[in-house]
Structure 1
Amino acid sequence: MNSTNDENLLKSKQHFYVLDGLRGVAAIAVVIFHFMEWVYPDFTENFIGHGFLAVDFFFCLSGFVIAYAYDNRLPKMGLKTFFTSRLIRLHPLVVAGTVLGLIGLFTDPFADHAVNYSISSVVLIVVSSLLLIPFPVMEERAFNLFSLNAPSWSLFWEYVANILYALILIRLSRKALWLLLVIAAAALIWVSYNAGNLLGGWSGGTFLDGGVRMSYSFIAGLLVFRSGWIIKNKLGFVVLSLLLAVAFMSSGLTYPWIVELIIVMFYFPLLVALGAGSVLTDPIRKICVFMGNISYPLYMTHYVGIWFFGNYFISKTIPKEQLPWVIGLGTVLMIVFAWLVMILYDMPVRNFLKRKRSERLRRKQLELQG
């Protein structure tokens, strides 16, 4: 394979713009949910108490997009190129989230959690976070798998999904994928029934729940693409965003564990199929592009602010009538900050790494020709 072919294989295929926008909506829902869970620890009392299901939507969307982007290209590009591409896309923000979490740990004016840990312990926490090695040791942070940046738990499982896809899932027939989906569905039902919800996966005690949630939704996303379930429609981004938001605001219904199963097992794959087949006008397309671009930076950088808010909330008194303004302004500021991180750090770093990879491929080709 020559360097020109290598670089052509690395070029992204066109985006499903509505899906990009929906990913942004889900990321904003996660931020608001993380604010609100400090106010209402019982998620059934929270108006956006099912915001945590955004992670399941991410996994389903990831399965669809990965299959669309790589089913035909991976056999030609090879495992090394695939894994390098995924690392370049995902890991700079893993590093950013870790650094922000470390800064927050030592600068939080409302809680001094760092005082409880030796320098060697902090180093271990940092290294585990940078390398995405689960290390749930901080009791003050509810034994999050990644104490410095709690949302990294889903990135851990995203990496697992990517590895399984490249090594196994890409080779499987649809019939085999359906069999795996049925097994994953049984596990998901058991997890939801046993815990009473699908909230687990982020902590040491619920580690395997995250794997079950990832398995079902990622495979479902793969099957939506490979089965050609792209439903042509004119609903558009606004209507589909509202339909997605309804799922996140359904936590007050009876039997939440059943409601969550229905949403994850059927509703989210349907929304992905509808989003992939929906049409857009140019102005809305620009909004979707922006929403898609900031979704991952927002998801990976917002939690340091959530810790500041949470520690302030439990140590001070915020009048309830002020909470909508505080949370609304905080969400806007986090979006702006995520955009700055994307522009000033994430994009330059990814472009640098891509350029270095291209240079390496060209040198390799010259050596073969020489």
Structure 2
Amino acid sequence: MNDLSEAPNTLAIAAKKKLSSQFFKKGIFIALFSGLMYGFYSAFLTLGMSKGVWAEWYGAKTVLSAFVITYLLGALGSAVNDTCSAGWALLNVGVKGKMGDFFRTLKTKPGRIMILAALVGGPISSTAYVVGLQMAGSIVIPITALCPAIGAILGRLLFKQQLNKRMMLGIAVCVIASFMIGSTSIGGDAPKGMFLGICIAFIAALGWGFEGCVAGYGTSMIDYEISITIRQVISGLSNLIILIPIFALLAGDLGLSTELAVSAFSSGSAMIWIAVAGFCAFISYMCWYRGNSMCGAALGMACNGTYSFWGPFCCWIVLGVIFGMDGWSIPTIAWIAAVVMVLGILLIAMNPLDLFRKGQGQGEQKIAS
């Protein structure tokens, strides 16, 4: 009698483990896909910012000052992209009947935490990322992928989270990889402004590391689709109504912010590609949050961090190969460093030996069945 009752329990436990394993693997795939989509977002945004009115602004006959070209246009590119991404996110929650949840969540404590994360990740990090990308090219992408390492350090300082020897080793590996990338900006062959672009990229990594720490608490209590919508809407609006006017004021002409914004949004040949970039950014963030909820935040962050490889690769394919734009070839040392960065991020997130232990456990389970 006991043998008969135990048999269904054993089958149920085995079925539950199989479902959990499939759920876990699906989460890893989704998180990896978020890194790929971030690479395409980087490529299409850069493409859009080379078309239409942007080509005039960045062209040899531009009437804009160096400050406006470097910083105000970088902030504007980030604002236009995040606004397009917010549009896709709002369309998504609208179609799924979650618009009411979006507005209600804004009034809650987790919602306010997400707003704080968006203010750091949007006006600060996203703008620094776009500025660095315009100044130094896709080589800055692996630099910004330091954010998981920075997030681990800030998590220890702010929230007393665990930071063991393995994680510290992973951080050291990431730092070494960033120095490998940075070495390409030293010497007479380095393009003008590359070193400054790489330094600005570190600001993006710092901001995204902080955003990851703060948003981690908020997203544990909010639907990931609602979280992404809050993030993108706040980021786009804060860029448009706060950061761009500040840069315009520093440039000596507050009205320049409105003039440039209207021109950017009305430039059809550029907006086509920036809208595609916004869609890729929306999918990337959505997959990142969803993947984190399925395979764990640490491993999800490591999988998303593979954009340190996918970013330069997608820029090379889209901009260099398909559209024939010069300057998007990647030095060999940067490719190597990008792979090293991914390994360092994985080391921060988990013990690589656990992958083999899981495999052994699954094998033993199949033999037993």
TM-score, structure 2 normalization: 0.37
Bigger Cα Rg = 2
* Relative contact order, higher structure (CA 8 A, sep 6+): 2
In proportion to residue count, which structure has more helix?
A: 2
